């Protein structure tokens, strides 16, 4: 099984009469807290200053959203 990633994809149905260039695969990003049920104690943490920028204290929950479609333009 390849490496785990929070980025998932699916293949939408493309109609033969689709006027625009069809998107063969569409991606979406899932938040990390879906995969952590009950937060275990003593998870690795950011320093206070980093945590303020990152938006979370624990590295496991850091979730910078990078649009999967950015590289498409």
Partner 1 sequence: MAQKQLPKEFYKSMEELQAVDFVILELTLYLDTHPNDEQAIQQFNHMTQVKQHLMYQVEQYYGPLQQFGNSYSGSPWNWKDAPWPWQI
- Interaction of residue 60 with partner 1, rule CB under 8 A: no
Cα separation of 68 and 28, whole Å?
A: 7
Question: What are the phi and psi torsion angles at 72 (to 5°)?
Answer: -80, -30
- Interaction of residue 37 with partner 1, rule CB under 8 A: no
Point out which span in 2-10, 18-26, 35-43, 63-71 binds partner 1 (CB under 8 A): 35-43
CA angle 69, 71, 72 (to 5 degrees): 65
- Interaction of residue 42 with partner 1, rule CB under 8 A: yes
Closest to 36 measured CA to CA, from 58, 55, 7: 58
Point out which span in 7-15, 29-37, 49-57, 62-70 binds partner 1 (CB under 8 A): 49-57
Give the footprint of partner 1 on this chain (CB under 8 A): 39, 41-42, 48-49, 51-52, 56-58
């Amino acid at each position: 099984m390849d490496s785990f990633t929070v980025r998932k994809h699916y293949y939408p149905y493309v109609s033969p009469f689709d006027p625009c260039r069809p998107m063969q695969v569409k991606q979406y990003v899932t938040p990390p807290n879906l995969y952590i049920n009950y937060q275990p104690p003593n998870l690795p943490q950011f320093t206070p200053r980093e945590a303020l920028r990152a938006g979370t204290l624990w590295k496991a929950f850091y979730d910078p959203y990078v649009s999967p479609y950015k590289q498409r333009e």
